[in-house]
Amino acid sequence: MSTVGIIGGSGLYQIDGIQDLKEVEVKTPFGNPSDKFMTGTLEGVSVVFLPRHGRGHKISPTEINNRANIWAMKKLGVEAIISVSAVGSLKLEMKPMDFVIPDQFIDRTAPRRHSTFFTDGIVAHVALAEPISEEVADVLYRVCEKLKITVHKNGIYLNMEGPQFSTKAESELYRTWGCDIIGMTNLPEAKLAREAEISYATLAMVTDYDCWHHSHGAVTVEMIIECLMKNVDNAKKILKTAIPKVGKIKKFSAASALKNAIITDPKLIPDQKKKDLEIIIGKYIK
């Protein structure tokens, strides 16, 4: 059985059915994660849960320490991550209350977001043509269908900067690009998870039509929270069924993502960097 990590977005702060719950604090070379981790088991599968914005939702999207979050997940033995996130829809057919499992991302985040472990004396180039791990996404899709929850498979997630919502001009621009949904958090996670050789998939909860829809008007927090609270119940049902299935996957596609990706001469990598990244690069760099 594999260990499954859950990163919970807005409104999702716990998972139903987890047994042997423990609170775990993880220190990382990159600072503090968003919160303490909750560990436990579900049908024999080890689960690691982290609220992305911290309990009480106190961390802005730009301020999330993604490197610490993903490094800690790796330290705790996580092999696959299901990222649960609230998003706006850029397509009429992807309605509020629907779920979307995207397969692509476009990055519109600010440079100050850290989305790589490979800096300060070490360089690696991982393949990210397919940023979502199909084996995890497929489980999520099949579970949604089984539970008769409306779900859309594949699509482009536009990762914007926050915490402000889009202008109408931006929203219309992203629609011309063919984007399907818009959010503020998932691409830095996906990039870092791939570098850490953790398979990653997004379970996106549609809460609104962003601001492009003529009958929708401006997006408000009240609008999002109302829809979000309804969606969270379905998200918990999906996770309760999906986690054991993901835990039984025999082979994860990201498990060898770093093979041949590190191009720095091992003799030139600083000792401290080797130590900080031991859990990620240890099998390749001695």
Q: Is the model's pLDDT at 285 over the cut of 70? A: yes
- Domain 3-281 classification at class level: alpha beta
Q: Per-residue DSSP letters for the chain?
A: --EEEEEE-TT----TT-EEEEEE---BTTB--SS-EEEEEETTEEEEEEETTTTTT-S-GGG--HHHHHHHHHHTTEEEEEEEEEEEESSTTS-TT-EEE--EEEEE--TTS---S--SS--B----SS-S-HHHHHHHHHHHHHTT--EEE--EEEEE--SSPPPHHHHHHHHHTT--EEESSHHHHHHHHHHTT-EEEEEEEEEE-TTTSTTT-S--HHHHHHHHHHHHHHHHHHHHHHHHHHHT-S--TTTTTTTTTB-S-GGGS-HHHHHHTHHHHTTT--
Q: Which of 180, 208, 271, 276 is catalytic?
A: 208
Q: Is the model's pLDDT at 11 over the cut of 70? A: no
Q: Which of 210, 233, 265, 271 is catalytic?
A: 210
Q: Is the model's pLDDT at 89 over the cut of 80? A: yes
Q: Judging by beta carbons within 10 Å of its beta carbon (0-12, 13-18, 19+), is residue 108 exposed, middle or buried?
A: middle
pLDDT of residue 220: 64
Confidence at 13, pLDDT banded by 50, 70, 90: low
Confidence at 51, pLDDT banded by 50, 70, 90: very high
pLDDT of residue 124: 97
Question: Which of 120-134, 179-193, 213-227 is least confident?
Answer: 213-227
pLDDT of residue 17: 79
pLDDT above 90 covers a percentage of the chain that reads 81
Confidence at 12, pLDDT banded by 50, 70, 90: low
pLDDT of residue 232: 83
* Closest-CA residue to 203 (of 174, 179, 175, 232): 232
Question: Mean pLDDT, the chain, as a whole number?
Answer: 92
Q: Is the model's pLDDT at 14 over the cut of 70? A: no
Averaged pLDDT, 116-125? 96
Provide the pairing of β-strand 151-153 with 156-160: unpaired
Question: Which of 65-69, 142-146, 220-224 is least confident?
Answer: 220-224
The pair of three-digit structure tokens given for residue 243, joined into one six-digit string? 């986690």
Active site residue 35: no
Radius of gyration of the chain (CA): 18
Q: What does the alpha-carbon distance between residue 228 and residue 192 come to, in Å, rounded to a whole number?
A: 26
Active site residue 233: no
Averaged pLDDT, 150-155? 97
pLDDT of residue 219: 59
Angle between helix 134-146 and helix 221-247 axes, rounded to 10 deg:
110
Q: Dihedrals φ, ψ of 101, to 5°?
A: -115, 90
Q: What does the alpha-carbon distance between residue 43 and residue 232 come to, in Å, rounded to a whole number?
A: 21
Q: What does the alpha-carbon distance between residue 103 and residue 88 come to, in Å, rounded to a whole number?
A: 16
First to last CA, the chain: 28
C-alpha triplet 167, 172, 174: angle, nearest 5°? 95
Q: What does the alpha-carbon distance between residue 195 and residue 199 come to, in Å, rounded to a whole number?
A: 10
Q: What does the alpha-carbon distance between residue 120 and residue 7 come to, in Å, rounded to a whole number?
A: 27
**Predicted confidence (pLDDT) per residue in 214-272, tens digit:** 765 555 666 667 777 778 889 999 999 999 999 999 999 999 999 999 999 999 999 99
Query: 251: how many CB neighbours lie within 10 A of its CB?
Result: 9
pLDDT of residue 217: 55
**Predicted confidence (pLDDT) per residue in 159-170, tens digit:** 999 899 999 999
Confidence at 190, pLDDT banded by 50, 70, 90: very high
pLDDT of residue 41: 94
* Closest-CA residue to 179 (of 202, 160, 163, 197): 160
